[in-house]
Structures are given as C-alpha cells and as structure tokens.
Amino acid sequence: MNETSPPSVVSDEYEYPAPLVIPPTEHPVSVKDIDADALLVLRRLHEAGFTAYLVGGGVRDLFLGKVPKDFDISTSAKPGEVKKVFRNSRIIGRRFRLVQVFFGANKIVEVATFRRRSEHEIAGDDVVLPSNNSFGNPAEDAFRRDLTINALFYEIENSTIIDYTGGVKDLQDRIVRIVGDPERRITRDPVRMMRVIRHAARAGFEVEPATWDAISLHKEKLSLCPVSRIRDELFKDLKGGASSAWAKLACDSGLFYVIFPFYKKVLVEHEDAGKYVEKMSKQLAVVDRLVAAGQVLPDGLLMAVLLLPWAEADKDFASVTTQKESYLLSRVIRDDLGEMFSQLNIKRAMQDEIARSLATLPLLTKHDNGKSWPKWLQKKSYFKRGMHLFQVVQETEGGALADLPFAAKESAALKKSTPTSTPRYHMPKGGGRGPAFALNTEGGVFGFR
C-alpha cells in the first residue's frame, strides 16, 4: 500500500501512533456505495466547518464488499452543534449523548462526537470503568472502540481510509482483534467477548490468538455484567444470520457455557454429546437460512430452537403420546426454564411460549402422517407455534424447507439504502430530547454488579 502517515497524536500525556491514511487507489471503498443521506450529513458537517467521518461497521462492510446495515458518523461537532446543523434531528442518550438525524421511510443516521478514552483504559488498575462523558479527537475515538476492524474512518473529501489501530490489515488477514490489551479491555467490559465471537462468526474470520486466549481466561467475568446486556447481545447473535457459526465459536471458547451452564452436561459430558452438537448446528443453520431470506423470527422461537437439543437430551420425548402428557411436560420444562433463565431475565410469557413449543414437538411428531393433521390438534392454541419449531426440525432432517407464515419479509423501506435516494426530512411525533436508553450506572459506567 502507498499509505501516508501523519504525525502521531499526543493527548492526555499519552502518545497515540500516527494513523495510516490509505488513498482511494489502495482500498475498495467508494463514495458511490455510501447511502445518499449519510453523504448529505457528512457534507453538511464539513460545510459547517467540522471534521466528520463514516465510521465503524459501515466502513468495515464496504471494505468487504457488503451492503452496510447502518451508516454511522463520528464528528468533531458537539451534539448541540450537530443539532443546529440539522433541524430534522434530536439528541438522545444519558451516558453519552449523540444525535439522530431523521430521513424518510423512518431512516435514521446517527452522529456521535469523537469520544475520549478513559485514563483507566490507558493505564492503571484493572477496575471497572468510571463514568466518562468526555469528548475527544479521532485518535482517542479509534482506540476507545472494541475491535480494530470497527475502528476505521472513511473521509469523503479525499476518499481515504484513516486507520489508527491496524484494522485494514486485520480485514485483509481476516482476523478479529480487540483494540489494545485484550485482557485489560475485557476486564473493563466483559461483553466485548460476545462481540468478538459475533463478528468472527458473521464475517467468517479467525479470532486473533491473544484475544482468544483472553476470552478463554476471563470468560467467567461475563457473569458480572447486567443480565439485560447479556440477553440483548445474545438475541443479536441469534438474529444475525450466523447463529450456527456463533454457537460453535461460543462453545469452543467456553463462553456458551457461561451463558447456559446447564448445556455443558449435554454438549460436553453426555455420551451422545457429538450428536447433540450436530443437531444444534443444523437447527441454527435453518434459522440462518430463514434470516437470510428476510424472515423475522420471534425471540421465543429462536430460544426454542437453541434449547431443543437440551430438551431432547434431558426429557423423555418418546413417552409423550397424549395431550395430557404434552401439557405435563410443558410444566416440567417451564419450571426448569425459570431456574435456568434466572441469569438472563427472560420474561415469564416467553418462557411459557418456549416450554409449550418444546413440549408440543413430540405430539406433532407422533401425528405426522405426511398428509394432514387431526382437526382436534389444529384447533389447539399451541398448534401454530408448535408447527414453527416442527418445520425447523423437519428441514434439518431432510424434509421440506421451513416456511413460517408469521415471519414477515423485511420491508423494502427498511432495507433501502441506495445512494440515489432523495433525502427527505421527517421528525417522529413527540420528537425532542428523549433518551433512547437509560442505564443505571451505579458502580461503574457499564453497570456491573
């Protein structure tokens, strides 16, 4: 590459390395592939005298030849300054405020001010990060990010990629690496381990050895995180279209058994562990196919698919032949889920849904004649949800492809992100400075217990 290297950046008595500035002839990202509304935001900020870059996953995906799901922007402008530039916007957030700029079809471009690294990320004791809302510069912002491949900036005026952390080389080498010292960064926020596994699974990348070793060493620290964060990250993993690859990496690293400790008896210690590992992989592969087809699967079904190997190994499905036996099995599973999900805070209604779907499966298997279902069974409230899980299982066993009627295709409006779209401004009803999320930051910025 014919990169250029500006001088290093000194900030808060810490000298950041000079970035590689990669010219357009040396990388595959093109302005024509960037969403028109995101380009408008970038240009308006530049015209107002601010520095502004396309950042994160958008740059990563464009580099890999993918269509980004989001086009996020980082800028030197403070939130209030961004809002003055865009009337079609609102400031959100409490821990760190950012700006949402609204366009047509409910599209949002998020604009964040460059953030400053905490002094504890640079040096100091291994303690939970304190609250830190300070703004910073591009170098500080890059080194605050979790992964090198997500720490890239794209600058539209000269079409250059600005790389402080070695993210371009890691993209070329197909590696996922934590920015900085992986042990220290994981200690600060153990949820970073889940993000490493997710990105490696989605991209088909290898996890860099030091990062992998840090995950293996500190995986138990994930239990220190708020259950809501773990749950939310888990559903991102299941809905991301690479849940089968994710499960393998999560199991290999041991992270899976921190989230689901009861599964170790099935996938590691059971005499048929290999069979259940293969079942989970195939069933999640069906989920991934449905996601790739644009179907949106309910959380309850995703969890039922994930838990099916456990249920088959732990419960006597073969003995369930009547409605009463199916109902009693659902009660047993429900009681187990209440205990097993205590660390994930899964709502009771979803637990009931999961338990009923799992307990209905042996009943459907018994009455499957390849033609029609008994009318009494079709009238049951649990029949449709049970059929969703049944179809997934049938596909894994070589049957017809699952076709789930409840799973709507993603709307064209949500998927539309073409550079030729005409920018339209829209503010939602009741707009204003409403926080999009609220965190209880007692005990640290990440809410550790």
Q: What amino acid positions are annotated as catalytic residues?
A: 70, 72, 146
Phi, psi of 179 (to 5 degrees): -70, 130
- Identify the bridge partners of residue 152 per DSSP, sorted by sequence position: 163
Q: Which residues contact 73 (CB under 8 A, 6 or more apart)?
A: 38, 41, 42, 45, 52, 53, 54, 55, 109, 110, 111, 112
- Cα angle value 384/306/244 (rounded, 5°): 115
Tokens standing for residue 344: 């994930």
Cα torsion angle, 433, 135, 171, 154, sign: positive
DSSP state of 315: S
Q: Which residues contact 68 (CB under 8 A, 6 or more apart)?
A: 35, 57, 58, 61, 62, 417
Alpha carbon distance 161, 21 (integer Å):
6
Q: Please identify which residue in the block is written with the tokens 């371009």.
A: 168
Q: How far is CA 415 from CA 40, 167, 201, in A?
A: 19, 27, 22
Look at strands 108-113 and 72-75 and give their pairing: parallel
Task: Indicate the angle between helix axes 227-239 and 192-203, nearest 10 degrees.
Answer: 0
Contact of 45 with 112, CB cutoff 8 Å: no
